[in-house]
Structure 1
Amino acid sequence: MVSAKHEGHLAGPCSQGKPRSVHQPWAILAPVNFLQLLLPDFALILLGYLVCRYTALGRPVWEQVESLVYFFLFPVLLFQSIVRSPLDLGAASSLIAAGLLLGIAGIALAYAVPHLPGLRGRIDAREHAGAAQVAFRFNSYIALALSERLAGPEGLLLIAVLIGVCVPLFNVGAVWPMARHSNTGFVRALVRNPLIIATALGLAANFAGFRIPPWLETTVSRVGGASLPLGLMAAGAGMQLAHLAQQKALTVSLLTIRHLLLPLVALGLAWALRLPPAQAAVLLAFSALPTASSCYVLAARMGYNGPYVAGLVTLSTLLGLASLPFALGVLRAVLG
């Protein structure tokens, strides 16, 4: 999702004209305060929890907020994110391949959980269908902020590439088990899902060369931006931590995939594809992000256990304080 003028950056030439290697030092990357980065999201989840339980703004209010986020605000954010920059698939082909392979690995691991030795019979099929998405989806707001701090403007371009190619895959991966388990029909669920529709329209608009007009861009940005705080607060409002204790095996399995196994997969892909330092750093960060706040909204709107998924979103946000330093510290040092 980058223009041709940025192709040289994505290919990774260094100032001396030699190609970067994954063995090059990581000095180009800025230090990141992960607590400062993740605290606002966690604070919004906590705020939603407190407002829902201790004010007159109870569950009926937040059910309407969930609908607003799901059917309007978040689709606008997805569309804007995808059409923001021209899509140039050849400019970062290795990163695109790594992102897709990472996504496929996450989806496969999430789907395999009920069938793993020691977990057969211990995982409720309906709970798994609604929560499997937690293992592979990602918080796009944190992704954008983190990538810019890691590698500046180039980092933003790189994460835009990953968002553009992975969001369609992840949305389909999230909807499939829920549609299959509820017998609503996979194709029907896809064509009616607002997140899928927004993604498809965004990709079509990008390939057609459409850009949001400058006079409309600020309004669209504000509409899409509103989805993030409201989505997080809605997750907090719907959260019931007692549900986590009832599904311990599923909780541990999904969060282990999200925060431990996927960073290790990303390490292997960065090494195998010999990604330049900036691309490898963005891929590692992408692999260790907290899960998407919209996981809760999607599960709740499709009739699944929203409070349980909200608890997973909260735990994932906290675990990001460990998985991001692990990916960008320990694993980055392995590549370095």
Structure 2
Amino acid sequence: MISLSLTILPVFLLLIMGIILSRYDFPSDSFWSGVDKLVYWVLFPSLLYTKTSEVDFSHPIVGRYAIIFLSTIALIFCLCLLVNTFMRASPPTCTTIVQAGVRFNTFIALAVADKLYGDVGLLYATLGASILIPTINVLVVIYMVVKHGKKGVSLSGLIVKELFKNPLIISILLGVSVNLLGASDVIPLYAITEILSQATLPLVLLAVGASLQFKEINTAWKYIWCSTIIKMTVFPTIIILLCITFDISGVVAAVAVIFGAVPTATSGYALARQLGGNAPLMAVLISSQTAISMAMLPMVMWVAQIIFLT
């Protein structure tokens, strides 16, 4: 496990570097807000477009991969609902617990897959992200609108808005489209996004680190541990069991486990603010899960590698 931890360590060192640079306002506070926008609107979509253009969607693994991820999300969602009922949480807190449980940090997932398994791992991770990102966005938006009882809100219109204003989803749809049309090498966009994608992961990790906030962490321990257990223990366990059930092993199974072992997505905070969730709690859960994942993720991946790669 030590060698695996050392392999993943640079990913977390970049997160820590982002935290330190941001705390000292280096190079400036406005720089990090600019990086966030560059990463979200240009660099990460470029990476997703490039990789989805290369994925072989005719491979038999795609269908089983989709079943594993969609089944896991459904089970985790139901578990979060049970936890909310048991804790008698308010509607804003309920939706925040769900976000913290089902969402995953795409940036960290792809960086870890790339670091552990190279281009093959990054390709499988992109396939997983292509399945999960649209699914989770639709599920979370529907739940938040229903739970908060927002009157006069068009649910279908809001879903369309959330999907088609999300550059990650747009880039996935474009990449899949040109892939299925066999036009990946014909359209010049691929050459541009391939160059941009090479600068993505290091800058993404610095930006994620810079966005973390730990000020209110002492006020929400029961939610922190509850969401962490769901996200980083139950989530990967379900994926492992489903991979065994569907006879998936090797790198493809190990990459699937990564999505369960990484912390929740930083984008959950913006959605909590927009749709009436508990945004301060969401910020705490994002930051605490990211910190805890530095210890948890190597352990989970060590178990996954023993099961699927030995």
TM-score interval for Structure 1 and Structure 2 normalised by the shorter chain: 0.7 to 0.9
Q: Deviations over 1:140-163 (max 9, x none)?
A: 221243344xxx95x666545434
Alignment of 1:146-295 (within 5 A): 146-148=116-118, 153=120, 158-173=124-139, 175-176=141-142, 185=155, 186-187=158-159, 188-212=161-185, 217=190, 219-276=192-249, 279-283=252-256, 285-291=257-263, 295=265
User: Contact conserved, 2:137 with 2:162, CA < 8 A, in 1?
Assistant: no
- Separation in structure 1 between the aligned mates of residue 131 and residue 224 of structure 2, nearest angstrom: 27
Q: Deviations over 1:248-295 (max 9, x none)?
A: 222212221222112221232133323355554444x33543236xx2
User: What TM-score results when the alignment is normalised by the length of structure 1?
Assistant: 0.71
Task: Report the counterpart of residue 84 of structure 1 in structure 2.
Answer: 54
* Change in 2 beyond 3 A, CA 1:219/1:95: same
User: Contact conserved, 1:98 with 1:270, CA < 8 A, in 2?
Assistant: yes
Q: Deviations over 1:52-107 (max 9, x none)?
A: 22245343332222222222222222222222223115455334322332233334
User: Contact conserved, 1:110 with 1:133, CA < 8 A, in 2?
Assistant: no
Q: Deviations over 1:168-217 (max 9, x none)?
A: 32343455556665957532222222222222323333322231559765
* Change in 2 beyond 3 A, CA 1:325/1:182: farther
User: Contact conserved, 2:100 with 2:231, CA < 8 A, in 1?
Assistant: yes
User: What TM-score results when the alignment is normalised by the length of structure 2?
Assistant: 0.76
User: Contact conserved, 1:134 with 1:313, CA < 8 A, in 2?
Assistant: no
* Change in 2 beyond 3 A, CA 1:91/1:236: closer
- Separation in structure 2 between the aligned mates of residue 78 and residue 96 of structure 1, nearest angstrom: 17
Answering whether residue 16 of structure 2 is matched by residue 39 of structure 1, we say no
Task: Give the total of aligned pairs.
Answer: 292
Task: Report the counterpart of residue 276 of structure 2 in structure 1.
Answer: none
| Cα offset, 1:320, TM superposition | 0.6
Greater alpha carbon shift after TM alignment, 167-176 vs 237-246? 167-176
User: Contact conserved, 1:66 with 1:234, CA < 8 A, in 2?
Assistant: yes
- Separation in structure 2 between the aligned mates of residue 310 and residue 225 of structure 1, nearest angstrom: 26
- Separation in structure 1 between the aligned mates of residue 63 and residue 268 of structure 2, nearest angstrom: 31
- SS for the counterpart of 1:242 is coil
> Over aligned residue pairs, what C-alpha RMSD do you find?
3.5
Gaps in structure 1 of 5+ consecutive residues: 1-30
Amino acid at match of 2:193: V
Q: Percent identity?
A: 22
- Separation in structure 2 between the aligned mates of residue 132 and residue 171 of structure 1, nearest angstrom: 12
